[in-house]
Structure 1
């Protein structure tokens, strides 16, 4: 490919194959380019492709004139002739006449003969016959023509003896063969016809003519021979035979001319024949056979001139209503040949009958001619009107040419491929009319038209190439569907719903889209054959299925019977459940043919609908009740949300929780709500309830965090004491002791220090006693002061134990005896002498134990003994008051998350207590090691 080819259109490419492909891609809209290629391309193959795509006969005829290649010239002429032949055989006289003119100009007499046979219009057939001059074409016309007169006239115009001989030998038509034989005058050709002719009458006529010619030849030889001697007998029969043979030849020639319509050409020939026949009629009384020849000759002459006279009359009538003599149209009949006739009455009667018959035929022919003339006149008027209409349309199209060009330019700019074909075709028609009519500014319009058309052609070519690519892209999809169909056809297992799968395959095949031509046919035929195989399997499955239809129908009838029996039931719930089971059973019962299945389903559905229609009022009432329940639960949700928002309020968390529990009880008392709202309303109420407990836990966690912060502050003070020295340590210890008491006071005195604080406080006291003994002397941390305080608490506890009125308490009394005495004293109002009179002993014991823990650990050697006496006195007082010194039972835990939180706190305190005990044991000095263990203070502080 050269560099210049990049800028050339493909039909002008240097490569022949590229030019051929470009020309093949052109359409009838590209006529101008096709004509250009057919005229100018240097390669005959390219020109041939272009010629084959041109479908205008006039253009092809012009190309044939200038074509250099003989084969292409013949091809072009043949294509033009075929197109003109089709038009010449049509019903439009103007188009047919123009097409016949083109055939005559083209010189294809074979096609002209076809027009003479096949043309729909008689005038076109007659004109085509008149244009024939080639003997072979005339012979073809004689063979193919349906009209007897047309065949005879065609034979009469053949002047080639070889063609006449071939026609006489090959034809099986008697009249046609006889006419051809009568035109032959060569004895050898006649003998050949007499030997090989297919028709018996033709062979006989040829033999007869040969015999007559031989007789005439013998007579001529006899006439040329020297005169016989006087007295010798003369051969009288030789002249007669020669004369009869020559007359017969003239009769045959005249018989071939008498039916012709070309009177101007045939008239002189008839006169010449009459003159020759008159020269031969020298015998006054001819023989009977010769008289018959004379009668036939005269009959043919009269018939011809009578036809000529009738033709002249018709021509005068068509031209003018005024009468005109026949002599003005045709020459007057010559004087009757002087022949000595032999009048035979029978022959005269036959001639008269034939004349009457001929006159009737002529009258009928004249009537038909008049009808043809009237029809031709009407056709001429119609053609003229049509011509004027076409001219008006052409002018209108020419006027619309600028609009058409503008539309083409708009579509070329927009790229709408769907409109390109339409606008190109319309533009081509308008362009043809514009080229025939004068239009102002035609050159400029034609230039715009060519530019717009070139752009549209390129766009259309691109669209077609895209369509071609899409066709090839559809091939894999079609092949995939074919594979699926083959898999279904080749599968030996029974495939469920095979018919449905086959329908799906066929539906998807329709959606594949167009395929390339050859592949489309091959794939479709293979797919169709495969689907036919699959359909045979489907029919087999259906046959098997039909065998089980009776059982399926019986099962469905049972379901219908049960459904109809339950239709009037009032056991709504159970019956509804049973109907659901019946419907499920119906789905599993199998399929029947569509019509039967629909009938059974209609009955079953009617029974179900009847029951559910009866149940509908009940469902409506239930729905109304459920709506009321929903409204009640909504109100409960609103109350619960309001309670959560107001909690804890003045009454505290307990009251709020009580309200929530009351709302929960009310919730349980309300019935069902609509199913669509059940989950949502329950989640709303549950969220409100959980919100209260979450709010309480959050509040408690805040209090616990604050309490922990206070405890951490006290712990920091206690640890600071142990790291201080001298008087500072004692001062810090007093501050820590005050902070610890304030922390305990925050609990309303209900609880003592925690195990952690108690252990840490005891450790601090031991640390002060061991490390700062002089500094703590006389302070609250002095072991002697602590011992005196403990003695006071023991004395106060012992005062709670009632003494016997007679003897007082004995030191030897046991705790049980003291408890019994206390109970007796209480029964006798023995508390009147105590300073704790009026207070609950249990409360007093609790206060004493709390005070014991606040005093601090007893670090003396007798600290354990003091603790034992204090505990014994407390237990005795509690026993006398009828109270149990056992730990209080655990309260029921209602909230799981609160239990978990308490458990975590308990575990944390246990770990801290163990750590404190370990640290105390590790840091306590040796002299203090004999003091009471840390746990001695626990009972009093861990209440």
Structure 2
């Protein structure tokens, strides 16, 4: 009957076309084929294809698109092919199309390599075969294509060429990858080696070879290369920095040692001059003390930068001991001076002898004038002469040894002064002492004369050279003032170093004249230099005042690093403000040294306070490490401790590293515990995801068979709720979307099953309905109304409708009311089935929809419950005339058949 009804439907009519579209999904294949044959528009079939595909739909659409049926223009068919996504249909169009462009359009929509391979081998058009062959890319597919496409030499050649090219490219890529990996491994091994002389060259060679490779490295390879290159460059930079630092430190150490050596020699010369003099005075002691203070300050400054050499330290300590010994003797002499003077004025020998003994003047030092008078007063003429002779002889012998040492060292000036003094004092010695020391004095005098002659022999040309150099320097107008002054001072220093060797009055006059010319030329420059030195002095004094203000009012929360920066910058500025006037350099230098010492004490004090605070942080971190609280919360607290650690600044250098190791170890353990907790959480999340995936697969494979299977779905939903919350991520979102779709589909099927069961229950009531119709016919014919008896167990709604039908037969309503009620129920069924209604029934459909919305405000009914209520109302409507029932029954059965259709399992 459905097959016969298709021939009476007109596709041009909207309602008939909708019925035909419904029949295209009929359960019978012949009905579907007949319904599809009524459609000549492939665009409408493409729309049906998007809703659901069937074999008959594929056949009809294929016939229309390839031109076998219908008269659709080629351009329109090309447009429709570009909308298709069905690979089987596209493959069939590419094989059977009536036009090359049509086949190529369908081929362009194919992505499956197996289908492309089929087209390349079996398509009847060469251009299509070649186009398909061009899109085959995998090695296995190309191998099959080269074997199967022997009839088409062009396709076979394309396959062989692309296959060979791919194999060559793969082999070359493997070689390049192996070479890149080899270079990368070599660079990583090189980064682990210690520095050697060829380390930098080897690194540059590996880097050039890496950059010369044509292919692009992967992200992991690029990262490995950068990490290894960074390590190599760090080793090279560390070595270069270490090398430069060592060289600079060595140069500074050598300069410092040379400066120390000159300072020690100057102090030793001064001490030796005191021992060689006739008398020691107050001026000699004051000059010695001033020289010692200057030496001590400069020695300490140099020692702050570099440790002194052991030999120089020994010489320095020995000179300081000698200085302390002389100073102690002088202080004793000043202490006993009053007693000696009083005893000499009183001519009392006993107090004088006690004072001289208490003074205990060293024998190798010339005595002060007052002590010499006391010594002469204590001894008589002969004892005094003998004592003086003996002392003079011993002193003369010691000074002869000193003269020998000076001549060996080439110290001509000091040796010449000492030799002149020894010659004058030789006549004052006793005869035996004079005979003993005279040969040695002559020998040393000959050595001195030889040294004088040699100095004169060397100094004569040297003086000529220095004089010419100074005159040339005075006439040179191209030199800057600074360079002129430096060379002038150097030449003057070299001239003075010659002493009286090869002295010449004319050369000296020429040298002084040239020097005066230079002095006159540099007068303006020296005034400017002095002004600059005065400005540097003012700047140094201002710097000292700023630092003194900082030290006087220190910030109790000052950062030691900032104080260290202030100290270092102050030291840099101090060096920048140089030179200063010489007469004030020592005073301002001592002031800056005192300030720097106080600033260092302030830095050390703040550093110790920070160390105490950091020890407390270490204790808190260790306590937090041993706590049993949540690892994430402990990690957040550890971050706060780390932030406080960074805000505190640095402790003293050695203690900072120790505290940091302890603090970092505790924090690392806390963060490791957090990572372990995260790993556990991630593992539990993965387990929930796996369980959810298994539940989804289980529910996806399950299809409900009847309405009672709803409990299985509710149990699955409850199980899914127990697995929530799922971890955030794309996988979880995909699972939720799939789960929602599956649950929605299963609920829809259960709803359709419930509707189908309700319809089947209605069909079981057809005997009861037929009995009521027969009783209605009799009652409407004028016969007495009879009640229909029900022999089956009925539900409460059906039982109530059954009694109502019997009651209406005894007191029947108007015929038009019964007809309106049946029409309303028919429209309600059409609305539930989703069917179209006639234009006359459209207001009724809208009214029913409004009522359904109003009734659903309190509790929304299911389709099965609503259908059950409509069927009960149909049973309760009566009495129904036979012609009215015959007119409405067909439409009611049609709507019920549509509602009874189940979705595919």
Q: What band does the TM-score fall into relative to the shorter chain? A: under 0.3
TM-score when normalising by structure 2: 0.25
